[in-house]
Structure 1
Amino acid sequence: MSIIVRDCHIGEGRPKVIVPIVETTESKILERAFEFSRLRIDCVEWRVDWFEQCMDAHSVVSCLQKLRVALKDKLLLVTFRTKAEGGEASLTHKEYLDFINTVIDTDCADLIDIEFFTARDDIRELIDNAHSSGVVVVCSSHDFQKTPDKNELISRMVKMQQVGADLPKVAVMPHDSTDVLTLLAATVDMKNKYFATPIITISMGKLGIVSRLCGELFGSAMTFASAGDSSAPGQIGLDIVNAVLDSIAE
C-alpha cells in the first residue's frame, strides 16, 4: 500500500526523507525553505509551534503561502506539535481544531499532522475535512517518557487507520535496546498484518537511531533527518541518512 503525493510514492521502496523547519521568524523560515528546496529530500515539515507568531492565524497563513512557493516541488507537512506531545506551545482544544482547519483551508499543505489524542472525539471530522481538500493526514502519537508495549503500539496505529488516517505515526522513547526492538516488532507486525496504510515509526534518542535508518527493511515509510536544527532527540544529519538509505536500497 502506498500513497502518491506530488509523484512521491510514500510506502514504496526507500523511506521518504523529511527535514524539519524549526525557526521562529518568517524570514528565517523562508530562508530555510529556499535552502531545503535544493536538498536531496522528499518533504519539509514546518513546525508551526516554533513560530513566534504561531497563535496569530493571519501570520501563520501568510507564512504558509510563502513557504509553499519557496519549497517548489518538495512535499510540505504542516505540524503544530503541542506541549503535551513534546512541542513548544500549548493550545486549547478549540484552538487546536481551528488551527488544523485553517491550515486545511489554505490549500498549501500536502500533508498535515493531526495528534490522535489531542484531537480526541473530533479526529474523524478533522480527517474528513482534510481529505475533502486533498490533504494527506499523518495521525501522530508521541511518548517522550517511555515505549509502550507492542500490542499498545499496534492498537494505537490500527485505531488511527480506523478513523481514516493516511499515515499513522508513533514516536516513542526507549530506555534500553529491548524498547527499540519492541518498536521495530510493532512496525513489522503492522507491515505484515495491518497494511491498509503506510506507517511512520520512530524510536527516539541515541538508542533509537537505528529505527530512523531501517524503515525499508521493517516497514516505516518515512524518516526524519536534520539539515541544521533538529526537532526531536536522535535526529541525525541528512548526509548520513541518505548514505545509509542508499546502502540499504542497493
Structure 2
Amino acid sequence: MKIVVPVMPKNLADVEAIDPERLADADIIEWRADFLPKEEILKVAPAVFEKFVGRELIFTIRTSREGGHIELTDQEYVDLIKEVAVLYQPDFIDFEYYSHKEVFEQMLEFPNLVLSYHNFNETPENFLEIMSELTSLSPAVVKMSVMPKTEQDVLDVMNFTRGFKTLNMGQAYATMSMGKLGILSRLAGGITGSCWTFACLDEASAPGQVSVASVKKILEVLE
C-alpha cells in the first residue's frame, strides 16, 4: 500500500515554500488545486510540477460538491482538468464521477483516471452499487471515501473492498472510512486490498488523516 500525501498551496509562494525533503516518506504526492482560485490554477501548475519532477503525482480539483474548496460548472471542471492533464501529464487524474457525470465522456482519452466518490455525511446504503458502477468503468483507481457512524460501517467498507479486490484482480481500489472512527481503515490496506492510504504533513485534507510519519511507522510494523 502506497502513502499519498496531499499538498494544498494557496498561492505561488506556498509552492515555493514546500520542502520536498519533508515529503520523503510519501510514495505519491496529491496536488489539491482547489485551494487556489480557478484563474490561478494554470498559473501555479508549472511550479508545482517542477517542484515534484520525478515524483508520482495525482492532480485533484476537489469541488465543493465533494468537500473541496472551489465551485465550478461541469464544463469549467473538465476543461481545467484536461488542460493541466495535456500540458503536464500527471501520473493520475482525479475525477469526481457522480458530481460531473455529464462531462465524463470528455475524459475517456485519459487512461490514468482516479474515479472518486466522497460522502462526508454517512456510509451510504448503496455503497456496493456505487463501487460496482465505478469498477465497471475500469479506471486506474476506484476511490471511495465515506463517513462512518458506527464501527460496523468501518468494517463494512473494509470487507467490501476485500470482496471487490478478490473479484476484480486487475482493478486498483483506494477506500477509506473518514474521521476518528475510520482510522483503522486507513491503516489496514494490506489486508483489505486498498492500494493507497492518505496521510498528512501539517494540515489534513480530510477528517481522520494521520501524519505521514506515523503512517509510515505503523505500516512498517504491520508489514
Tell me if TM exceeds 0.5. Answer: yes
Query: Which stretch shows the higher mean deviation, 140-149 or 193-202?
Result: 193-202
- What is aligned with 1:25? 11
TM-score, normalisation: structure 1: 0.84
For 1:30 and 1:160, the matched residues in 2 are separated by 36
CA contact (8 A) 1:212 1:223 kept: yes
Query: Which stretch shows the higher mean deviation, 202-211 or 177-186?
Result: 177-186
**CA positional deviation for 1:50:** 0.6
**CA positional deviation for 1:202:** 0.8
1:92/1:201 CA distance change after superposition, 3 Å: same
For 1:25 and 1:208, the matched residues in 2 are separated by 32
1:71/1:193 CA distance change after superposition, 3 Å: same
Q: Which amino acid aligns with 1:105?
A: V
Per the alignment, in what secondary structure is the counterpart of residue 212 of structure 1? helix
CA contact (8 A) 2:49 2:88 kept: no
- What is aligned with 2:75? 94
Q: Which amino acid aligns with 1:143?
A: N
Q: Residue 120 in 1 paired to residue 95 in 2?
A: no
For 2:79 and 2:176, the matched residues in 1 are separated by 28
- What is aligned with 1:138? 114
- What is aligned with 1:39? 24
- What is aligned with 1:237? 211
Q: Residue 50 in 1 paired to residue 35 in 2?
A: yes
5+ residue gaps, structure 2: none
**CA positional deviation for 1:96:** 1.0
| 1:158-213 superposed Cα distances (whole Å, 9 cap, x missing partner) | 22232231100000001111110111111111111133311000100000000110
How many residues of Structure 1 are paired with residues of Structure 2 in the alignment? 223
Per the alignment, in what secondary structure is the counterpart of residue 128 of structure 2? helix
Per the alignment, in what secondary structure is the counterpart of residue 42 of structure 2? helix
CA contact (8 A) 2:147 2:177 kept: yes
CA contact (8 A) 2:74 2:103 kept: no
Per the alignment, in what secondary structure is the counterpart of residue 59 of structure 2? strand
- What is aligned with 2:220? 246
**CA positional deviation for 1:124:** 3.6
**CA positional deviation for 1:114:** 0.2
For 1:245 and 1:117, the matched residues in 2 are separated by 32
Per the alignment, in what secondary structure is the counterpart of residue 207 of structure 1? helix
For 2:57 and 2:17, the matched residues in 1 are separated by 15
1:231/1:183 CA distance change after superposition, 3 Å: same
Per the alignment, in what secondary structure is the counterpart of residue 209 of structure 1? helix
Q: Which amino acid aligns with 2:114?
A: V
For 1:87 and 1:78, the matched residues in 2 are separated by 14
CA contact (8 A) 2:74 2:102 kept: no
Per the alignment, in what secondary structure is the counterpart of residue 141 of structure 1? strand
Q: Which amino acid aligns with 1:137?
A: L
Q: Which amino acid aligns with 1:40?
A: D
1:65-84 alignment, distance < 5 Å? 65-84=46-65
Q: Residue 207 in 1 paired to residue 176 in 2?
A: no
Per the alignment, in what secondary structure is the counterpart of residue 117 of structure 1? coil
Per the alignment, in what secondary structure is the counterpart of residue 174 of structure 1? coil
Q: Which amino acid aligns with 1:104?
A: A
For 2:127 and 2:16, the matched residues in 1 are separated by 36
CA contact (8 A) 2:75 2:103 kept: no
CA contact (8 A) 1:101 1:129 kept: no
Q: Which amino acid aligns with 1:147?
A: T
For 2:101 and 2:77, the matched residues in 1 are separated by 11
